[in-house]
A and B are shown apart, each in its own frame.
Chain A
Amino acid sequence: MRALALALAAVIAAALLLPAFYVTLMINVGLASLVGVGLVLLTGIGGQTSFGQAAFAGIGAYTTALLTLSFGWSPWLTLPVALALAGVAALLIGVVTMRLSGHYLALATIAWGTSAYVLMGTLPGLGGFNGLVDVPALPGLRGASRMMLVFVGVLVLAALVLVGNLLDSRQGRAIRALATGRLMAESMGVNTGLVSLGIFVIAALFAGLSGWLYAHVQGVVNPSPFNLGAGIEYLFMVIIGGAGSLAGAVFGAGVVLVLRDQLNDWLPRLLGQPGNFEGMVFAAAVILALQNMPQGLVPLLLRRRRLVETRIDVNAPALPSREGAGAALKVSGVTRRFGGLLANDAVSFTAQAGAITALIGPNGAGKSTMFNLIGGLLAPNSGEISLGGVRIDGLPSRRVARAGVARNFQHVRLLAERSVLENVALGAHRRGRAGMISAMLRLDRAEERALLAEASRQVARVGLSELLHSPAGDLALGQQRMVEIARALCLDPVLLLLDEPAAGLRLAEKQQLAGLLRSLRASGITVLLVEHDMDFVMGLADHVVVMEYGRVISAGSPSVVQADPKVMDAYLGGVVA
């Protein structure tokens, strides 16, 4: 709050004191920052890239120019239309690419940026490549005036606050998972395609707002500031400034625009011919920045902030939880091939409700494949998997998660730079419902308190309360495994899938884990675990299923399985007759 007041005071002071030339420059920095804030959200944090933001700005600019000039609308009335059109364009591009991996969106925006430029220059009524002139000023805010700088400054600050709010929310945690943890987030029930679509639309809205303002600041609209090259320069600004933090958007815009002004003067003189050589310089800067300082300029200018210690409200109301616990997992005749390899061959077994079932077998027996089939990361070639009588085979992992299946990963998948609390809270994603808009407007606080309280309860349950605010990447491997279990518990699961939960744990930690699993069993949760530690398994499991070469070779209580000669053969090698 104090930072905000300071920033606002700085903007007002700049507007009052700077010479006219710099007022114009600062307004342009503000307009670019608006686009940049969207790009930080999309690229630096969401791990996706757009080269076409300038075209969304173009939509905003042309919409208001056309509506005010040809239809006599008030500029204030054109704003919602401009934003709506930019948003719809982004929605269409995003829908086409939302299920594909990130670079397809970037490639689609290249096509979009090129085509939009062509259309702006050729569609009838838009004035061709000369564009539209005499766009009216905003009432009371003439062109590049000092008041306009204040107005733009307020909008930039508002954008920073809105996106900052968004990142500090349930949706924000999902957004941060997009870059490196999509698969994990899907297994927590997050619809990552929808989340990435959401931030792409939000980024386009900020670009559209910037374009709308541009039209009224300049009074002239033509296609060239909205071409692909301009879109790429916005991205370069953000990378130079530092795509990982919101401040980077403003720093980048400031540095690039001020420098461009200078380079524009002396580069052509230096190279002995006219031309726009600034782009080349910034591009070279981007290459060097990505090679040597991927955080951009921000770390040079700001101290690295520690993770904010979110306060936990212990009195927050409990989240809604599932009605009635415990449902049996039934796997019948499941076969999965990888090319010529038969990883699972007509596997059948049942994990009883409210019991601990262990899946064991030598390496390469097909246990992990079975886990991925149950968890929805793979679909079986044939056979059925059902949970409490409802078929879940072939469903995508987020739908399996919604059906009540929670899991950890054999190779731990955590967001290393985020706190334990945030990582665990991602597991509770589906138990909240606040959307991106309510997050931006802080209408989600009650639910957010409940989500974080639940997450901290689960962290306490696995005994890591003291590390609640540490970055998950700083923890020892055994502790990270416990964080994953806490995250899975946040899902309020019916069935808990644990892949080698005891690997890397010390004896005391194993005993603690065994205690935890017993208490989960007592509360009616079905547990299925893959584990190599036989002491751990045999002391804990109610039922053991042994696999070898993709088949079930034995099943029963621990003592029955231990006495089975086939199991001994599998583990110790056959006895030569």
Chain B
Amino acid sequence: MDVTIAELLLQDGLTTGAIYLLLAIGLLLVFLVTRVIFIPQGDFVAYGALTLASMLAGHVPATLWLLDVCAVASALLQWRSWRGVSWALGPALLITLATLVAVRLGAWVWLQGALAVGITALLAPMVYRLAFRPLRHASLLTLLVVAMAVHFVMVGLGLVLFGPETQRTPAFSNASFTWGEVDISGHSLWVAGCCVVLVAALWWMFHATMLGRALRASASNPMGARLMGIEGDRMAAIAFAMAGGIAALAGLLIAPITPIAYDSGFLIGLKGFIAAVIGGLASYPVAAVAALVVGVVEAFASFWNSAYAAAIVFALLIPALLWLSVRTRSIEEP
């Protein structure tokens, strides 16, 4: 392996690593606010990419109808509360209209991309409402099993909605720059840029806005937050929507690099998830660094021996778990 290849692999690794970083952040956000380990996040990656692909092909994306069905179902579940119904139906109705118009007119790609992210993001709180909310007092493990089941349902629905073909979406930029000896693709820069902007935006939100503080409060002390008038349910729905949106954006970022099918999301999501576990399911910065490491290790492992790459990436978990074991002293009550 010469230096050029190493630099190329490093660039690839950091690019995918940045995408995993976004996913790790989404996972932590959902976990800390709701205790749900968001296994289906990877499916939201696939849904985001496939929704855009289907819109660019001139179709009304099937995800839109799924969103509407889920919106009606969750409106029915809370029919007693006018606010609940309008929260469930309002955004879904708006985005349905906007998407229908945009597809009919063949609007700009970036607008269609934004709509794809929006549709997918709105789907996530519906999933929370239908699958997780009835079990919000259940044990962490029960929630984990439900998360796994939701993943299965989403993969099955993905096949029904999108069919078995893989899809690519256009790169954010086809430009290419030369820096010293290395070619840097414009898309890689876009990925890095999105990642930095999003992390900065989240940081600002968590530290400077009321909503961000409320989210942090419900994560660190749910009971205390509720006593201060922060609605746990609303925070959970917002966390899911944010994670769903982040995942969809990750889908748009990754689909120009690797073609995506209805079932490709899971393995992508798992990488973000390894990073989150390495961060002890608690630390955003550690998870972020771990995500970049996972991306780079994966790139080099695939070059060395593509068959074993997946196993090697998962092996990163072992030292992380050992470290966590050594650090924990007390027995945690589940």
Bound pair (A, B): yes
Task: Verify if A119 is at the interface (C-beta below 8 Å from B).
Answer: yes
Bound-complex Cα distance A283 to B134 (A):
16
Stretch at the interface among A45-53, A327-335, A467-475: A45-53
Establish whether residues B325 and A100, one from each chain, have CB atoms under 8 Å apart when the complex forms: yes
- Among A99, A232, A377, contact of B152 (Cβ-Cβ < 8 Å): A232
Instruction: Decide yes or no: A96 and B322 within 8 Å by CB, A103-B37, A182-B331 being known contacts.
Output: yes
Stretch at the interface among A213-221, A284-292, A311-319, A508-516: A284-292
Closest-CB distance, A106 to chain B (whole angstroms): 6
Bound-complex Cα distance A66 to B187 (A):
47
When distances are taken between beta carbons in the complex, the residues of chain B under 8 Å from A106 are 141, 144
When distances are taken between beta carbons in the complex, the residues of chain A under 8 Å from B148 are 51, 232, 235, 283
Task: Verify if B2 is at the interface (C-beta below 8 Å from A).
Answer: no
Instruction: Decide yes or no: A283 and B321 within 8 Å by CB, A49-B145, A115-B310, A377-B330 being known contacts.
Output: no
When distances are taken between beta carbons in the complex, the residues of chain B under 8 Å from A182 are 331-334
Establish whether residues B325 and A283, one from each chain, have CB atoms under 8 Å apart when the complex forms: no
Task: Verify if B138 is at the interface (C-beta below 8 Å from A).
Answer: yes
Task: Verify if A539 is at the interface (C-beta below 8 Å from B).
Answer: no
Bound-complex Cα distance A290 to B274 (A):
26
- Among A49, A183, A284, A294, contact of B144 (Cβ-Cβ < 8 Å): A49
Task: Verify if A5 is at the interface (C-beta below 8 Å from B).
Answer: no
Task: Verify if A321 is at the interface (C-beta below 8 Å from B).
Answer: no
When distances are taken between beta carbons in the complex, the residues of chain A under 8 Å from B145 are 49, 235, 239, 286, 290
Task: Verify if B277 is at the interface (C-beta below 8 Å from A).
Answer: yes
Task: Verify if B307 is at the interface (C-beta below 8 Å from A).
Answer: yes
Stretch at the interface among B67-75, B153-161, B192-200: B153-161
Instruction: Decide yes or no: A122 and B307 within 8 Å by CB, A103-B141, A111-B274, A287-B150 being known contacts.
Output: yes
Bound-complex Cα distance A290 to B155 (A):
20
Instruction: Decide yes or no: A287 and B153 within 8 Å by CB, A115-B314, A118-B311 being known contacts.
Output: yes
Closest-CB distance, B279 to chain A (whole angstroms): 13
Establish whether residues B131 and A114, one from each chain, have CB atoms under 8 Å apart when the complex forms: no
Give the A-B pair count, Cβ closer than 8 A: 141
Establish whether residues B311 and A119, one from each chain, have CB atoms under 8 Å apart when the complex forms: yes
- Among B37, B146, B324, B328, contact of A287 (Cβ-Cβ < 8 Å): B146
Establish whether residues A48 and B134, one from each chain, have CB atoms under 8 Å apart when the complex forms: no
When distances are taken between beta carbons in the complex, the residues of chain A under 8 Å from B331 are 99, 182-183, 186, 192-193, 397
Bound-complex Cα distance A235 to B333 (A):
23
- Chief secondary structure at chain B's binding surface: helix
Closest-CB distance, A399 to chain B (whole angstroms): 12
Closest-CB distance, B291 to chain A (whole angstroms): 16
Stretch at the interface among A274-282, A477-485, A560-568: A274-282
Tally of contact residues, A, Cβ under 8 A: 57
Complex: chain A residue closest to B324, CB-CB: A100
Task: Verify if A463 is at the interface (C-beta below 8 Å from B).
Answer: no
Complex: chain A residue closest to B316, CB-CB: A111
Closest-CB distance, A204 to chain B (whole angstroms): 17
Residues facing B in A93-124 (CB within 8 A) are 96-104, 106-108, 110-112, 114-115, 118-119, 121-122
When distances are taken between beta carbons in the complex, the residues of chain A under 8 Å from B146 are 286-287, 290
Complex: chain B residue closest to A97, CB-CB: B321
Establish whether residues B318 and A96, one from each chain, have CB atoms under 8 Å apart when the complex forms: yes
Establish whether residues A108 and B152, one from each chain, have CB atoms under 8 Å apart when the complex forms: no
Establish whether residues A283 and B149, one from each chain, have CB atoms under 8 Å apart when the complex forms: yes
Task: Verify if A273 is at the interface (C-beta below 8 Å from B).
Answer: yes
Bound-complex Cα distance A101 to B144 (A):
13
Task: Verify if A236 is at the interface (C-beta below 8 Å from B).
Answer: yes
Complex: chain B residue closest to A186, CB-CB: B331
Bound-complex Cα distance A446 to B266 (A):
52
Instruction: Decide yes or no: A379 and B157 within 8 Å by CB, A101-B334, A232-B152 being known contacts.
Output: no
Bound-complex Cα distance A282 to B317 (A):
29
Task: Verify if B80 is at the interface (C-beta below 8 Å from A).
Answer: no
Task: Verify if A258 is at the interface (C-beta below 8 Å from B).
Answer: no
Task: Verify if A534 is at the interface (C-beta below 8 Å from B).
Answer: no
Closest-CB distance, A377 to chain B (whole angstroms): 7
Bound-complex Cα distance A114 to B274 (A):
13
Given A99-B328, A183-B331, A275-B159, 9 new contacts (CB under 8 A): A101-B334, A103-B37, A106-B141, A110-B270, A115-B314, A118-B310, A183-B333, A273-B163, A379-B329
21 contacts between A and B (CB under 8 A): A43-B141, A47-B141, A96-B321, A100-B321, A100-B324, A103-B37, A103-B140, A104-B324, A107-B37, A107-B277, A111-B270, A112-B314, A114-B270, A119-B311, A273-B163, A277-B160, A279-B155, A279-B156, A280-B157, A378-B330, A396-B329
